[in-house]
Amino acid sequence: MTIHWYPGHMHKAQKYMIELLPQVDLLIEILDARIPWSSENPAIARLRGEKPCIKVLSKSDLADPAVTALWQARFEQQRNVKTFPTRSDQPAGIKALLGLCRSMLPERAASRNTSSRDEYGGPSEKG
């Protein structure tokens, strides 16, 4: 007797991801910096294919910095993958994440009219 353990909500979410991925330019995957391997969903890498991906290592302030650096090096050996460690006590770092997204998609950033946007892509206070 074979037991299949894959809850319906997970199947539904994966099916929805497959439908949406053609419309997505970049994936952001949130991992726990303390346990990056365990918090990674192996299906994400398979589904994303060659799409650019940023692996955000959350709670990096609670992880060993040397070990986090090793994980970053390991992840960034993968094609089109960058890492972004973030601290739970510094939510302002998200602006830097937006800059990383833009650097991974330069053709998209260049095609936008930046005259009415601030340096992070949001509406400028002037315009």
- Sequence spans of domains, the chain: 23-105
CA-based nearest residue to 21, from 13, 11, 9? 13
Q: Which of 5-9, 54-58, 59-63, 118-122 has the least mean pLDDT? A: 118-122
Query: ∠ CA(41), CA(35), CA(87), 5° rounding?
Result: 105
The band of 3, judged by pLDDT with boundaries at 50, 70 and 90, is low
The band of 115, judged by pLDDT with boundaries at 50, 70 and 90, is very low
The CATH superfamily of 23-105 is: P-loop containing nucleotide triphosphate hydrolases (3.40.50.300)
- The overall pTM is greater than 0.75: no
* Per-residue model confidence (pLDDT) at position 8: 79
The CA-atom distances, in angstroms, between 65 and each of 18, 28, 29, 55 are: 35, 21, 20, 16
pLDDT surpasses 60 at 105: yes
As a whole number of angstroms, the distance between CA 127 and CA 125 comes to 6
Using CA of residue 6, residue 8, residue 13, residue 15, what is the dihedral sign? positive
pLDDT surpasses 60 at 94: yes
